[in-house]
């Protein structure tokens, strides 16, 4: 049970070990990206994605020379409020973008989180095994005659 709990906890922690890095010019379908809208983009896409939205995060459905179609999973407004989406497709013309970033695994974060989780699991295991390994302090009862 402890092993299953540790594995689940580790998987959950590793999900947070991602960062967004500047994207290469060519995006691939399925890549997780975060796009930053410029002022014109916030204005023109306001009716589609919401007023004051600064970033859209999601998977690339199609990347062309003039636009990117995203399956949007989250948006973030200028004031930092985040909104969950259910992978609705939104076409974003490239001229409305400030930048595009690709989601990648952060090796330093992953190593730190993995080390912390492994150390915590070892401490928990040691605490539980130390508490259950001791024998009874009472002396055995004499055998009946």
Task: Report DSSP letters for 82-111, one per residue.
Answer: EEEEEEEEEEEEGGGEEEEEEEEE-HHHHH
The whole-angstrom separation of Cα 86 and Cα 17 is: 22
pTM equals: 0.60
The whole-angstrom separation of Cα 71 and Cα 20 is: 17
Token duo for residue 49: 């994605």
Decide if 73 contacts 87 (C-beta within 8 A): yes
Residue 4 carries which DSSP code? H
94 has a pLDDT exceeding 60: yes
14 has a pLDDT exceeding 60: no
| Cβ neighbours of 140 (radius 10 Å) | 6
- Range 19-105 has CATH code 2.30.30.100: yes
pLDDT at 120 (0 to 100): 72
Who has greater pLDDT, 143 or 63? 63
Domain residue spans in the chain? 1-17+106-130, 19-105
34 has a pLDDT exceeding 80: yes
User: Judging by beta carbons within 10 Å of its beta carbon (0-12, 13-18, 19+), is residue 135 exposed, middle or buried?
Assistant: exposed
């Amino acid at each position: 049970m402890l092993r299953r709990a540790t594995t689940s906890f580790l998987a959950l922690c590793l999900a947070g070990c991602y960062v967004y890095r500047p994207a290469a010019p060519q995006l691939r379908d399925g890549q997780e990206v975060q796009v930053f809208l410029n002022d014109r983009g916030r204005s023109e896409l306001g009716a589609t994605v919401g007023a004051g939205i600064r970033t859209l995060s999601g998977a690339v459905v199609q990347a062309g020379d003039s636009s990117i179609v995203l399956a949007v999973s989250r948006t973030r407004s200028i004031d930092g409020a985040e909104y969950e989406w259910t992978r609705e497709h939104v076409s974003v013309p490239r001229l409305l973008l400030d930048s595009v970033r690709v989601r990648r695994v952060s090796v330093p974060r992953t190593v730190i989180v993995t080390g912390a989780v492994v150390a915590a699991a070892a401490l928990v295991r040691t605490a539980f095994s130390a508490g259950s390994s001791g024998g009874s302090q009472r002396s055995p009862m004499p055998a009946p005659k």
